[in-house]
Structure 1
Amino acid sequence: MEGDKMFDLMTKMYAEMQNGFKGVNERIDGLENKVDKTNITIENDIKPKIEALFDGYKQNSDKLDRIEKQVSKHDEFIIRRIK
């Protein structure tokens, strides 16, 4: 009789553990889906925008370099005229 009670208790505990693991696995699957969606969003939406911003920054930097060279030429001309 005592063995039957112990077996029933262990069977009940095993079933509860299996249900708990099932719940944990479902939560992990949900998190994996969210991570996948986040990665897709980063790759498809955010990354191209960052690359476009970087390209714009690079173009502005190049333009400023060209302007600086032109201003330098004018500075030299103005300094020669003043002397």
Structure 2
Amino acid sequence: MTEKDLLELIASQVSDLTKKFDGLDKKVDNMEANMATKDELAEIKGIIVRMENEHSLKLGALFDGYTLNAEKLDQIEKLVAKHEETLLTKVK
């Protein structure tokens, strides 16, 4: 094997290694992009959980208010019915 052949072989191997290294660079870039996407997804999931908890508390408060209003209306209806009875008995 001559020096020229040896240099061509080395150049060929260096070229192959460069191609493989470029392929590895692309794979690493893709992995980094995927990891960034996964981090963003985890952050979004955390935000969604927090929003669900906050909405749950707000809906609970609204339901409690609705229940209190319904109870108060029942009390008022009973009082009005009582007053109507009193008025009707006095009118007769």
Q: Same fold (TM over 0.5)?
A: yes
TM-score normalised by the chain length of structure 1: 0.68
Matched residue, 2:71: 59
Which whole-Å CA distance do the structure 1 matches of 2:64 and 2:49 have between them? 24
1:20-74 CA distance string (max 9 Å, x none): 011101111111111222233334x424422320231122121122023123314
Residue 75 (structure 2) pairs with residue 69 (structure 1): no
Structure 1, unaligned runs of 5 or more = none
Q: Secondary structure at the match of 1:49?
A: helix
**Other-structure match for 2:42:** 29
Structure number with larger C-alpha Rg? 2
Question: CA shift at 1:3, angstroms?
Answer: 4.3
* TM-score, normalising length: structure 2: 0.63
Give the CA deviation at 1:78: 5.5
- Between the aligned residues of both structures, percent identity stands at 1
Aligned letter for 2:38? Answer: N
Aligned-residue Cα RMSD (Å) equals 2.5
* Count of residue pairs the alignment pairs up: 79
Decide which of 5, 23, 26 is 1:13's aligned counterpart. 26
Structure 2 runs not aligned, ≥5 long: 1-11
